[in-house]
Amino acid sequence: MSMRIKERETPRLIGINKEVRVTTTKHIVQVMDIFRINDAFLKIHRIDKDTYYTDFPGDEGIIHQYKHTEKRSSNIAGVRRTQRQLRNYINNNFDGSSNELFITLTYAKNMKDYKKLYHDVEKWIKKMRYKYGSIDYIAVIEPQARGAWHVHILLRFNDKKDVYLDNNKDVWSLWEHGFTNTRKIKGVDNVGAYLTAYLADLEVNDENTTEIFNAMSEERKMDVVEREVEGKSKRFVKGARLHMYPTGINMFRCSRGIKKPEVSKMEYWDVREKIGDASADFVKTFDVIDEDGKILNSITYENYNLKRLKSQLKNNERHHATECVQHTEAMKATILPPQDTEASKVTQIPLYT
């Protein structure tokens, strides 16, 4: 069965009594609702990564084989699911605190063996822990347009309230395979969304245009955006890098101290009770369509950032306090007599002589 996914122009509203899937991280709440339009879609049951069976009439008891592809670009929906999982893992463990760092490790040579990359990263982490104590991390490997690999790592230094590492003296000296980049993530209230977008988009330049076009040849269009990077305007193709991952590769790895996000099911009414007055940061609906153009089901996502809600409430309180002060001053001006001045003292007439 061949299927494709299409985003709706107008998101579908979720029924107040509908049971939804809720993923909760530190301050992000994501709601997913599946509206099943065609029950036939529910009759496909996955056994493992290679096999499945169906409940279609005349097909009971027959085991089918999935058709695996060599390029993950043919299974881009699976890559995006992994990206959502990565985003949730990041948001449940990292929030831009002063004891967190975002480090990129590269190779001077055109290194194309991702297994060696993971092996080298593990050795580097051991050196870092020996020198700086308890560290938890999420490591995300990333393909270049030319086929080489490098890795981005989020690190949390559990024994420190604040951490600063010199990129050359403290980071590169323990890596030594190529360039390194070390920085903190500041001013970001959704680290997971920020980093997954950063990792998915690919800069367009004169050297990689052909590779990007070949990787995205199955896409009907490419979404190109312009961003300012270090004072220069650069062009990026959104999601282009996701098409370059080979099938079956683990895009990211975590240390044991990384906690999984909480996933539960509840009625949408209970979700509204949980998030209070928060407004959704985004609402999107995607239709799952078969090869005949028939909509099988519809999936709606809602995302709530509770940190933004707290900031909004504080701003409202400040605004309300300012209005109260201004109102009080205005009332004083109309009710209380004017304060004594030199001019008023001259014109005062005593009541008794």
Q: Over the stretch 92-108, which tens digit does the pLDDT of each residue have?
A: 999 999 999 999 999 99
3-state helix, strand, coil in the chain (%, to 5): 35, 30, 35
* Cβ contact 54:61 at 8 Å: no
* pLDDT tens string 24-80: 998 899 999 988 775 544 566 777 777 777 766 666 667 777 665 554 444 566 777
Q: What angle do CA 295, 15, 44 make, to 5 degrees?
A: 40
DSSP for 108-164 reads SS----HHHHHHHHHHHHHHHHHHH--EEEEEEEEE-TTS-EEEEEEEEETT-SS--
* pLDDT tens string 141-196: 988 877 789 999 999 999 999 999 999 999 999 998 999 999 998 878 888 888 88
Answer with the residue of higher pLDDT: 160 or 1.
160
pLDDT at 220: 44
Residue with tokens 């339009």: 37
pLDDT at 78: 72
Q: Is the dihedral of CA 146, 224, 71, 142 positive or negative?
A: positive
Contact residues for 281 (Cβ-Cβ < 8 A; gap 6+): 190, 303, 304, 305, 308
Rounded to two decimals, what is the model's pTM? 0.71
Best CA proximity match to 46, nearest among 21, 78, 22: 78
Domain boundaries, the chain: 1-68+265-335
Q: What angle do CA 250, 254, 259 make, to 5 degrees?
A: 130
Best CA proximity match to 300, nearest among 25, 32, 19: 32
Read off the DSSP letter of residue 221.
Answer: -
